[in-house]
Amino acid sequence: MNATLSDSALGIHKNTGKLTHDVVCPPSPIRPSSHPEPQLAWEARYPKGSCSPKTPLPGGLGFYLAGPKIFSNALERGAREAVFSYRMMLQKDWEWVKGGKLPGAYGGVGELAYRCSGGRQHDRCKCFNLRLMWRENGMGELYAYTPLNETNKGALLAVPPFSKTNSDYGISVGKGAWTYEPGVWMTIAERIKLNTVGEANGEVQVWINGDCVIHARGLVLRVDEESHIKGMHFQTFFGGHTPDWASPKDQHAWFADVSGVIVH
């Protein structure tokens, strides 16, 4: 999967409320990278005071991305392993506050795959959601919703340099394993390997600009053969859902070069 930033071409669905993802010409980075700069990108807007989509003033963007039909069909046929990637640039004077969400992979059984976020506990054995986060001062982490069991808890909490459970929410995995940098294009990739049903051999791996920063092994991402990798939960916002998480000013971020590969 490597398509233009088109809703139809990328199988975009379940867009969050009134949030937009306009295709724009992004600003120039503060310094060039080793790869050509994207000429077009989705723009995420975070108004001053905005945070979670559940609040009166939401910010960012949010939708689910299945990929082109040939790709999504292969996932639905039971592909066990896939890699998703995108490039991202935060505005050069970005202010972090306490943290916020960034896109990552998701999956599960049918419509239940969409229920693994926002603190939901019901049917957690039927879904997984593996978005990323920024935290204070730009520290990165994997924010993992997986089936609730001691196997997953132990495997995820063992990821360095620091991991912890969040009451009623996901697990913060590998906090500080990398640092986001405003004003430059960063390449983010995430590999998902489903476990064999009945075994704890699932994996999640994260690369930032080509460097492996997280590799969690021994996971149970599914307990049912009907649980599949679905695509990307392409979501970003400040929060949390309380005012102390909110963006302190109008801010912008840009997302481009979305791709996916099924690993055989």
CATH number of the CATH domain containing 236: 2.60.120.200
pLDDT score of 191: 99
Total domains in the chain come to 1
Q: Would you say residue 210 lies in a domain?
A: yes
Q: Would you say residue 17 lies in a domain?
A: no
pLDDT score of 168: 67
Q: Which amino acid is at 118?
A: G
Q: Which amino acid is at 155?
A: A
Q: Would you say residue 15 lies in a domain?
A: no
Which residues constitute the domain of residue 152?
Answer: 40-262
Q: Would you say residue 23 lies in a domain?
A: no
Element (H, E) at 208: strand 202-208
pLDDT along the chain (264 residues), means of 10: 87 94 98 92 98 92 97 97 99 98 98 81 84 98 96 98 87 98 98 98 98 99 97 97 96 98 95
32 class by beta-carbon count within 10 Å (0-12 exposed, 13-18 middle, 19+ buried): exposed
The CA distance from 124 to 121, in Å, is 6
Q: Would you say residue 214 lies in a domain?
A: yes
pLDDT score of 235: 98
What pTM value is reported for the model?
A: 0.96
Q: Would you say residue 28 lies in a domain?
A: no
Q: Quick one: DSSP state of residue 72? A: H
Q: What are phi and psi of 111, to 5 degrees?
A: -65, -20
pLDDT score of 224: 94
Q: Quick one: DSSP state of residue 204? A: E
Q: Would you say residue 180 lies in a domain?
A: yes
pLDDT score of 39: 96
pLDDT score of 231: 98
Query: How many CB atoms within 10 Å of residue 76?
Result: 12
Cα 18 to chain center, whole Å?
A: 20
Which pair of structure tokens corresponds to residue 144?
């993992």
Q: Would you say residue 27 lies in a domain?
A: no
The CA distance from 108 to 202, in Å, is 14
